[in-house]
């Protein structure tokens, strides 16, 4: 099985000007290196069209930028527009049949109320909106054969703001099916991941309103299926290093391990999904995105290296380096993802 392409958004300086790109690295190449597609915004999250592996929608976090990209032709097809009183919040998803494109957005003029905008996937014309049942929504995942969208709502300020939560929303009706609230009021709900059987992993930044947020602790919270949510608290020597935002995560299905990154703590930490026990760690400067190769044999991490951002691969089974590194990778954004771009 092929290992696939790694994709990641990023930016870099050229002649004093900040440039934004979508970077791609072919893991099956003899000498992997990065190629880039120019963007007009910092790409954060990805939505892949299930009917066309070469079509992906990218979204800016807390901004007006979004676009559909053709990965075969390596070009932006067209931008995705949103009204002036709204902001994209970084993530989206295509419907199972590829006909609709959902995006997390906040209505700035309405206290950052959370909505899922619904667009025709071809024309990108907006067809309607669905409430996320919270404020400042961010990540989203499509489940149950495309009938339900799981969305993280970052919540309002600590002083009287709406509680952060993860909501399960029925797309046909907009009905709230389930709501998960963290057991710690000091954290928001950021990125999320679901195991194949439905276990939920949530990573968090310090809640808005806390002083010196990069000195406060981020978090990893786990809700095994049919269980309550638990935020990891031990070992203290690891948890105390999780300063600032816990940024990216992936679930290793074979071992049921959640891998997370903490850039300010220079830490990649690993936790067992079902009992929240600490499994291990990697020491890296400023780790950012994390994902697995398509064959699940490699764990890939983007991280700071000198003045640039590199991509390093590790054996998933023993966490030892594979032996190569791509530098620069241009993947300075929050996420990397592995995707099949074979012809």
* Two structure tokens written together for 254: 């074979």
* Two structure tokens written together for 93: 């998803």
> Of 324, 252, 246, whose CA–CA distance to 288 is shortest?
246
pLDDT at 183: 82
> Dihedrals φ, ψ of 212, to 5°?
45, 65
Instruction: Please identify which residue in the block is written with the tokens 């690993």.
Output: 270
Q: How many helices (H) and strands (E) does the chain have?
A: 1, 29
pLDDT at 160: 76
pLDDT at 262: 97
Q: What is the pTM (predicted TM-score) of this model?
A: 0.95
pLDDT at 226: 83
- Whether the CB-CB separation of 126 and 138 falls below 8 Å is answered with no
Q: What are the average pLDDT values for consecutive 10-residue runs of the chain, which has 343 residues?
A: 96 92 97 96 97 97 97 97 96 97 95 96 97 96 96 88 94 96 89 97 91 88 92 94 96 97 97 95 97 98 95 96 94 97 84
pLDDT at 184: 81
Q: Residue 312 to residues 33, 63, 284, 301, 322: CA-CA distances in angstroms?
A: 12, 30, 10, 6, 8
Distance in angstroms (rounded) separating the CA atoms of residues 146 and 170 = 9
pLDDT at 73: 97
């Amino acid at each position: 099985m092929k290992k696939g392409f790694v994709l990641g958004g990023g930016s870099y300086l050229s002649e004093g000007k900040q440039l934004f790109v979508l970077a791609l690295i072919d893991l099956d190449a003899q000498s992997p290196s990065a190629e880039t597609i120019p963007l007009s915004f910092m790409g954060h999250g990805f939505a892949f069209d299930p009917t066309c592996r070469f079509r992906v929608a990218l979204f800016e976090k807390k901004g007006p930028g979004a676009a559909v990209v053709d990965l075969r032709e390596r070009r932006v097809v067209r931008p995705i527009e949103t009204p002036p009183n709204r902001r994209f919040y970084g993530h989206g998803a295509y419907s199972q049949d590829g006909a609709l494109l959902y995006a997390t957005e906040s209505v700035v003029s309405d206290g950052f109320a959370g909505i899922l905008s619904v667009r025709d996937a071809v024309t990108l014309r907006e067809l309607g909106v669905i409430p996320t049942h919270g404020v400042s929504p961010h990540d989203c995942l499509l489940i149950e054969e495309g009938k339900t969208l799981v969305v993280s709502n970052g919540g309002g300020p600590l002083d009287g703001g709406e509680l952060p939560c993860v909501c399960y929303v029925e797309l046909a009706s907009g009905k709230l099916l389930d709501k998960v609230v963290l057991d710690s009021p000091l954290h928001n709900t950021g990125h999320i991941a679901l195991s194949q059987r439905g276990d939920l992993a949530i990573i968090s930044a310090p809640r808005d309103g806390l002083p010196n947020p990069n000195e406060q602790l981020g978090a990893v919270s786990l809700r095994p299926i049919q269980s309550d949510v638990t935020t990891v608290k031990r070992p203290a020597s690891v948890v105390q290093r999780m300063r600032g935002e816990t940024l990216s995560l992936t679930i290793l299905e074979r071992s049921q391990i959640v891998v997370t990154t903490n850039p300010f703590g220079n830490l990649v930490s690993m936790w067992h999904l079902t009992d929240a026990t600490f499994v291990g760690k990697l020491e890296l400067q400023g780790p950012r995105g994390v994902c697995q190769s398509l064959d699940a044999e490699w764990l890939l991490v983007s991280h700071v290296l000198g003045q640039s951002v590199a991509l390093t691969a590790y054996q998933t089974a023993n966490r030892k380096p594979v032996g190569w590194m791509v530098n620069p990778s241009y993947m300075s954004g929050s996420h990397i993802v592995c995707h099949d771009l074979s012809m």
